[in-house]
Structure 1
Amino acid sequence: MPLEPGAQLEPLRQALLTAELPRTVLTWLRTSESARLLHDIAASGRALTHADLGTLAVSTGRGGAQSTDYLRSLLVAYGILPVRDEYLAGIERHLARMVARHPQHAPLLRPYVRWSVLPRARRRAARIPSTRGRTTWSSTRVNAAVDFLQHLAALGLSLDKATQHHIDQWLAGGPTTRYETRDFIVWAARRGHCTPLTVPHRSKAEPETMDEDTHWDLLQQCLHDEELPLDVRVAGSLLLLFGQHLSGIVTLTTAHLGNTDGHTTLRLDDTPIRLPNPLGHLLNRLAEEQPQHGWAANTSSNWLFPGIRPGTHRSTGPLSRALAAHGIPIRPSRATALLQLAQDMPPAVLAPLLGMHVITAQQWRRRTGTDWTTYLQARRRALDAGRTPPVQR
């Protein structure tokens, strides 16, 4: 039986009454849009649900949706609403928006998202926490599908009448994001909605790397430079040492840390990695220095990189900008780290250690044997800068 609104909101009321900074609480109550929304909800006399907030977000526009998302995070953090994966929910919200704009495509879009896009997103979320990138990944594919269906409609065609010529012409006439329609075309062909059509995989440029001296200097700076912010030092070290995506770094929690024989370990997948002492010390400091309470910025949580919204981890965008501001380039740092690791470890060992697919590990391994162009470019940059060039192993 659902709680009465007053009883349902009691945990939040207690948090506001016992907050360490009462003036901050008063400011939030007087000026915040999310507080106004909370007041309106409480005054309605109805028990609150996630669906109610979703309806409210749609009706209040983009600015209102942000306030609603903040309020939702606050209510989830204090147990007023049940925990749910907001990034998976974002996929469903995007589907609803696209169907509302293009109702004629609903018979294809709804089953495509519900039986193809969402199941894969849920399987991934079962292994690692979701990030905004998962919503973006899914939304891009839905948008590509809509764009192609709109293109066919402009030609007076339905999907079952599309030919290879139509898809080739469409791909050639626009941005490379159109290649993301491959996922939709493969799904549609398997279910008999169209004839088998070929959409090539979107081409990927060879990863940009840096020379070994620069890579080593940046890593030493992250490990030992006390003038750098602690979060930048930790994120930079994980990027430069283990080649981790920022989307994986921001979802790390204190539960990923361990201790074996007096040495700090970090679990990126199933295998704990024994860390060098400087990095282990930094991670333990980061875990200890995170705020343990506070309703406005964050509630008690075990995120190593807590976010602005209560109970959430940090977004990759702000962290990426912080690293760039301190001279740590994201892609070259990650690519160089993975190439070095792939040189030293076979794919079957590297993949479960870093939490990547074994095929991805094999691709990095192949690059170490064939990527002489990248090496020569790094060597030339080192010579031009007056440094000793890196040695190709």
Structure 2
Amino acid sequence: MTREYCDRCAVAEHLDALFGSLPPQPAAALAPLREALVAAEHPRTALTWLRNSASARILTDTAATGRLPTHADLDAIAASGRGATQRTDYLRGLLVACGTLPARDEHLAAIERHLTRTLTRHPQYAPLLRPYVRWSVMPRARRRAARRPSTRGRARWAYTRVNSAVAFLTHLAGLGLTLPEATQHHVDHWLAAGSSTSYELRDFLVWTADHGHSSDLLVPHRKKIESDGIDEDTHWDLLQRCLHDDSLPVDVRAAGALLLLFGQHLTRIVSLTTGHLGTHDGHTVLLLDHTPIRLPDPLAALLTRLAEAPKSGWRGNMPGTWLFPGSRPGTHRGTGSMARALAEHGIPIRPTRTTALVQLAQDMPPAVLAPLLGLHVVTALQWRRRAATDWTAYLQARQRALAAGRPTARP
């Protein structure tokens, strides 16, 4: 008790020394951060962070100038070298969670930073890459973010397109060619020698052709490899475990149930907030896109329990509405961490998602399925076709078994 009291007092004294010389306005803006650090579950950890961490030194150096760090300040530091992004992201999350900095879409900002880093290394490509990202990549990313919170996958989507464009332009430069001189032969040769991500060049070449920077060069769509599903009995058993097995962690149960019932990507699951839960006609509903989904009672109770569960660490004394809060302040849980947790408890991600979407596509037309789950209508149509193919294959197999006089398993 005495040790904890001394550590907590040391945190308060350190913060008083750090913020004591600030003008009233920045000091007031940092007050929520001070309260959160003083109230930290483990004051020794907070004290160690204040004394030793690189992110705390950024805060200390800025406070010494008598002002608050801004997003622009942190962006400039993030671009200064290896490891700087991680340090600034931690401090940024802390300041945003406390309301000291305004929230912004960090994944969109990361795309801008990636473009800046790329152009620093390859300034000769700026006349093509800058307008391509500004007028093609970013508008689509912003439109997507306006419909639902953007994810790290959206940033990787942009990174891959920029990197593919740079790699192809560099390849042409090695041949002594510019983009207007490139032919279909050059594109085909480059694709044959590259990895599957090389096919993301298609987006860049469509844009350059439309704007007169290249001839009409063809990059075929990369074929998606859909995972095989699992049998319905196994799928049902896994769902029952998630809904009723109290030996599983509640976050694993909730994420697994959402995966098994609605076929949601983990990126969508971990970014759900308490705002996605609501009530309608006395029933708990979940809003994945535009259409509220009435939840079965076990899942409704499970998600309510998850939302009301006490949080530890930063999560316990920081405001936030994530259903799956992350270990860093102001962030949700990472998809990698959640994927490992599901795998450890025997819940395969891709096969269960495939089975869930095939079953839903069998029961609902694409025009209903798309706004229900947040799918593009073309994607919903593809799942409908997949479901029809799977059902036809099942009927054919059943007919062959009956003709041979063999018993068949139930569907």
TM-score, normalisation: structure 1: 0.91
Q: Does 1:37 align with 2:55?
A: no
The 3 A distance-change label for structure 1 pair 42 and 389 is farther
Q: Which residue of 2 aligns with 1:359?
A: 378
Match of 2:89 among 58, 65, 69: 69
Moved more, 36-45 or 280-289: 36-45
Q: Matches of 1:374 and 1:39 in 2, distance apart? A: 65
Q: Matches of 1:18 and 1:67 in 2, distance apart? A: 22
Q: Which residue of 1 aligns with 2:4?
A: none
Moved more, 6-15 or 76-85: 6-15
Q: Which residue of 1 aligns with 2:73?
A: 52
Give the secondary-structure state (helix, strand or coil) at the position aligned to 1:44.
coil
- Post-superposition CA distance 1:218-238 (Å, at most 9, x none): 111111111111010000000
- Post-superposition CA distance 1:319-352 (Å, at most 9, x none): 0111111111111000000000111111111111
The 3 A distance-change label for structure 1 pair 159 and 342 is same
Q: Matches of 2:394 and 2:348 in 1, distance apart? A: 18
Q: Does 1:348 align with 2:370?
A: no
Deviation at 1:262, TM superposition (A): 3.2
Give the secondary-structure state (helix, strand or coil) at the position aligned to 1:144.
helix
Runs of 4+ in 1 over 6 A off after TM superposition: none
Deviation at 1:19, TM superposition (A): 4.1
Q: Does 1:337 align with 2:346?
A: no
Q: Matches of 1:49 and 1:328 in 2, distance apart? A: 42
Q: Which residue of 2 aligns with 1:163?
A: 183
Amino acid corresponding to residue 339 of structure 2 in structure 1: S
Asked if the contact 1:74–1:295 (Cα under 8 Å) also holds between the matched residues in 2, the reply is: no
Q: Matches of 1:78 and 1:388 in 2, distance apart? A: 60
Q: Count how many residue pairs are aligned between Structure 1 and Structure 2.
A: 381
Q: Which residue of 1 aligns with 2:130?
A: 110
Q: Which runs of 5+ in 1 are unaligned?
A: 380-386
Deviation at 1:37, TM superposition (A): 2.1
Give the secondary-structure state (helix, strand or coil) at the position aligned to 2:279.
strand
Q: Which residue of 1 aligns with 2:110?
A: 90
Q: Matches of 2:258 and 2:189 in 1, distance apart? A: 43
Q: Matches of 2:195 and 2:31 in 1, distance apart? A: 51
Q: Does 1:322 align with 2:341?
A: yes
Q: Does 1:189 align with 2:209?
A: yes
Q: Does 1:303 align with 2:319?
A: no
Q: Matches of 1:71 and 1:129 in 2, distance apart? A: 21
Asked if the contact 1:209–1:374 (Cα under 8 Å) also holds between the matched residues in 2, the reply is: no
Deviation at 1:81, TM superposition (A): 1.2
Asked if the contact 2:40–2:317 (Cα under 8 Å) also holds between the matched residues in 1, the reply is: no
Asked if the contact 1:159–1:194 (Cα under 8 Å) also holds between the matched residues in 2, the reply is: yes
Q: Which residue of 2 aligns with 1:382?
A: none
Q: Matches of 2:47 and 2:321 in 1, distance apart? A: 27
Deviation at 1:213, TM superposition (A): 0.9
Aligned identity (percent) is 68
Q: Matches of 1:74 and 1:245 in 2, distance apart? A: 27
Give the secondary-structure state (helix, strand or coil) at the position aligned to 1:214.
helix
Q: Matches of 2:74 and 2:214 in 1, distance apart? A: 38
Q: Matches of 1:7 and 1:224 in 2, distance apart? A: 47
Q: Does 1:205 align with 2:205?
A: no
- Post-superposition CA distance 1:216-260 (Å, at most 9, x none): 111111111111110100000000011011111111111111123
Amino acid corresponding to residue 51 of structure 1 in structure 2: A
Deviation at 1:146, TM superposition (A): 0.5
Q: Which residue of 1 aligns with 2:10?
A: none
Give the secondary-structure state (helix, strand or coil) at the position aligned to 1:171.
helix
Amino acid corresponding to residue 22 of structure 1 in structure 2: P
Q: Matches of 1:330 and 1:256 in 2, distance apart? A: 22
Amino acid corresponding to residue 76 of structure 1 in structure 2: V
Deviation at 1:270, TM superposition (A): 1.5
Match of 1:28 among 33, 49, 55: 49
TM-score, normalisation: structure 2: 0.87
Asked if the contact 1:298–1:311 (Cα under 8 Å) also holds between the matched residues in 2, the reply is: no
Q: Which residue of 1 aligns with 2:12?
A: none
